[in-house]
Amino acid sequence: MKGLIVLKFSFIFLLLASQSVMGSQKRKSRLQMKPCKQFVLYYHDILYGGIGGHDPVNATSAAVTNAATKLGNFTFGLMVIFDDPMTKNRNLHSPVPVARAQGFYFYDMKNIPSAWFAYTLVFNSSDYKGTLNIMGADPITEKTRDLSVVGGTGDFFMARGIATFQTDALEGTKYFRLKMDIKLYECY
């Protein structure tokens, strides 16, 4: 008789347990979430000035549209394609870049400088092999900007997360450096 009561209790608890399984669509609140992987990398963009321009040897990016839209005063419409080194510290001449950032950005606001990025981090080091794919807005005048890590391959198979940008250096139109804090919340 007691056993039967226990059985009933078990049913109830199992019901609760299975409901919490069914409800697995409900994820942890973002306040509770901790990254399953996190690292900081520095992005170095060395802009090529065009034919006869500065530094074709070291340049790692080039404008592919011109700023001739003349919409506003912040090169609205200027698009840049890049293959930029990513290093573990601020030093562009770090022994070995840990990854390349390959993709593009363009400027898209009339009244303040603001950009939009889509790119791939291509890792090929002793630490990691694989890629992370990232896209989002980069409102440059904000102290920090969050973009989405929308997918990954290799060591970053199916990863998702947030890439937080911070401007780390800005040298006219020739060079800028971004600190990218990569936080992955889905790891496999």
Residue 63 near residue 78, CB atoms below 8 Å: yes
Mapping DSSP to helix (H, G, I), strand (E, B) and coil, where does residue 129 land? strand
Touching a second copy, residues 5-44 (CB under 8 A): 5-7, 9-11, 13-14, 17-18, 20-21, 24-25, 27-30, 33, 36
> Does 4 help bind a second copy (rule: CB under 8 A)?
yes
Q: How near is the Cβ of 67 to a second copy at its closest, in Å? A: 9
Q: Report the C-alpha gap between 62 and 56 in whole angstroms.
A: 10
List of E strands, 47-98: 61-63, 79-87
| Dihedral (CA of 56, 57, 58, 64) sign | positive
Smaller CB separation from a second copy, 33 or 170: 33
Whichever of 69 and 90 has its CB closer to a second copy, that residue is: 69
Question: Is residue 90 involved in binding a second copy (CB under 8 A)?
Answer: no
Looking at 92, 94, 128, 148, which residue binds a second copy (CB under 8 A)?
Answer: 148
Cα–Cα dist 149/134, whole Å: 4
- Applying the rule CB under 8 A, the residues between 109 and 128 that interact with a second copy are 109-110, 114, 116, 118-120, 122
